[in-house]
């Protein structure tokens, strides 16, 4: 098994990389100059990295200097800086979020996702509200302080049905943080969820390039996505967004824009993971994102968003056996173990070969705790709200 980033890079360098996959349809991804021209204008790698650590504000050109870090020395310097920043602002404790994937039905047809409505090969399932609450009860008993309720965009769960679930969990434990990740809904729905006791909402923007977004998510738009993120902010949620790395047609410029968008949104959470092509989608056979590229974007996210919760995503752990550990050493401070009943897990295949689909929830927890201890870190206690003053005590409750 490859163990060092150097070894991983050697393999990835031969065939993959954002630069090679840059498409022609990306308008927002226009390149502002050659590699050398950008470094001449923005500063050397070390100068830009020092500016990032000191001020957490970079221009698009400066971000490109970090994203296009070259050579082991620059890469390690970037990851170490992100790790230092994580230690300073978020501490050494790693927050665990138990994720319940309660339905794999989806009305959308995103090109990159195995749950897309057009995938006739997927065995679909739905958990009933009382089943979801029962799973939540087990997760709380295992010590989870945050539960993430995730599904495809499934209209079966009306606002009233989901509110029953939220209230059921609140009734079990008033302190547990409830995060929703159920896609695009109406303002009235988001308001109702919040009033019922939902604390956080995850709605990844996926890509900040409007053309790439429209191409990969037919029938939806980046504009509508951003409008919903603004609604969530207005309603007082802790807001999470994020993007994929390595999408066909994506450029480093586009990824720099992703990071600037996350900063502009001032998100409390940002999920950054590699694109992994699914065989039963229109993107079957394309190349996926690499570990190195994903870690670079993650590290830059930590430098721009010093107070955000950044997960070491399961997708990162899927493309490399030590992906999550390396992410935890490049700015991440959260892991999201799966607490979905084992019988359903193999069918929540947004991407293929997902790790941790056979283990019991209790085993996953132990395994993740061991992984965290092996890095000299500890598991955080409690709900792990955003450290921003507005959310530091508790966010649960009514408007």
Summarize as ranges the residues that interact with ligand SF4 (CB under 6 A).
Answer: 106, 108, 110, 113, 115-116, 152-153, 183, 350
Closer of 258 and 292 to ligand SF4 (Cβ): 258
The nearest distance, CB 105 to ligand SF4, in angstroms, is: 9
The nearest distance, CB 282 to ligand SF4, in angstroms, is: 12
Closer of 16 and 109 to ligand SF4 (Cβ): 109
The nearest distance, CB 156 to ligand SF4, in angstroms, is: 14
The nearest distance, CB 152 to ligand SF4, in angstroms, is: 4
For 33, 212, 215, 255, 301, the CA distances from 247, given in Å and listed in that order, are 22, 9, 11, 10, 18
The DSSP element (H or E) to which 269 belongs, if any, is strand 269-274
Closer of 78 and 115 to ligand SF4 (Cβ): 115
The nearest distance, CB 238 to ligand SF4, in angstroms, is: 20
The answer to whether 227 touches 255, Cβ cutoff 8 Å, is no
Bridge-based pairing state of the strands 146-151 and 238-245: unpaired
Closer of 114 and 337 to ligand SF4 (Cβ): 114
The nearest distance, CB 150 to ligand SF4, in angstroms, is: 9
The answer to whether 116 touches 108, Cβ cutoff 8 Å, is yes
Q: What is the C-alpha radius of gyration for the chain, rounded to an integer number of angstroms?
A: 20
CA–centroid distance for 182 within its chain:
14
The DSSP element (H or E) to which 374 belongs, if any, is helix 361-374
| Count of beta carbons in the 10 Å neighbourhood of residue 315 | 25
Closer of 153 and 253 to ligand SF4 (Cβ): 153
Overall size of the chain counted in residues: 399
Buried b (16+ CB within 10 A) or exposed e, 233-269: bebbbbbbbbbbbbbbbbbbbbbbbbbbbbbebebbb
Bridge-based pairing state of the strands 200-202 and 177-181: parallel
Closer of 116 and 385 to ligand SF4 (Cβ): 116
The nearest distance, CB 53 to ligand SF4, in angstroms, is: 34
The DSSP element (H or E) to which 335 belongs, if any, is strand 334-335
Closer of 140 and 182 to ligand SF4 (Cβ): 182
């Amino acid at each position: 098994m490859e163990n060092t980033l150097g070894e991983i890079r050697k393999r990835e360098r031969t065939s993959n990389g954002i630069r090679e996959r840059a498409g022609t349809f990306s308008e927002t991804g226009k390149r502002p100059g050659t590699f050398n021209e950008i470094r001449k204008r923005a500063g050397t790698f070390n100068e830009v990295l020092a500016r990032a650590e000191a001020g957490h504000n970079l221009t698009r050109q400066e971000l490109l200097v970090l994203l296009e870090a070259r050579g082991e020395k620059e890469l390690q310097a970037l990851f170490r800086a992100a790790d230092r920043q994580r230690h300073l602002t978020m501490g050494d404790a790693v927050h665990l979020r138990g994720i319940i994937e309660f339905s794999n039905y989806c009305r959308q047809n995103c090109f990159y996702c195995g749950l897309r409505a057009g995938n006739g090969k997927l065995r679909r399932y739905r958990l009933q509200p009382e089943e979801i609450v029962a799973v939540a009860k087990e997760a709380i008993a295992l010590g989870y302080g945050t539960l993430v309720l995730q599904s495809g965009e499934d209209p079966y769960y009306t606002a009233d049905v989901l509110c029953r679930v939220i209230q059921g969990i609140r009734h079990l434990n008033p302190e547990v943080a409830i995060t929703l990740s159920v896609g695009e809904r109406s303002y009235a729905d988001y308001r109702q969820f919040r009033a019922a006791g939902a604390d956080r909402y995850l709605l990844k923007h996926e890509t900040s390039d409007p053309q790439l977004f429209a191409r990969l998510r037919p029938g939806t738009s980046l504009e509508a996505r951003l409008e919903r993120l603004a609604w969530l902010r207005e309603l007082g949620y802790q807001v999470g967004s994020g993007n994929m790395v390595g999408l066909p047609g994506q450029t480093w410029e586009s990824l720099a824009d992703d990071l600037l968008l996350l900063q502009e949104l001032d998100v409390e959470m940002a999920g950054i993971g590699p694109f992994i092509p699914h065989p039963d989608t229109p993107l079957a056979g394309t190349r996926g994102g690499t570990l190195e590229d994903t870690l670079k974007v993650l590290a830059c996210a930590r430098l721009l968003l010093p107070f955000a919760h950044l997960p070491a995503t399961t997708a990162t752990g899927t493309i490399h056996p030590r992906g999550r550990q390396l992410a935890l050493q490049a700015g991440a401070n959260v892991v999201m173990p799966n607490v979905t009943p084992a019988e359903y897990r193999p069918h929540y295949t947004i991407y293929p070969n997902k790790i941790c689909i056979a283990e019991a929830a209790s085993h996953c927890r132990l395994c993740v705790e061991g992984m965290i201890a092996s890095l000299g870190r500890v598991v955080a206690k409690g709900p792990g709200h955003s450290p921003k003053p507005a959310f530091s005590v508790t966010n649960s409750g009514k408007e």
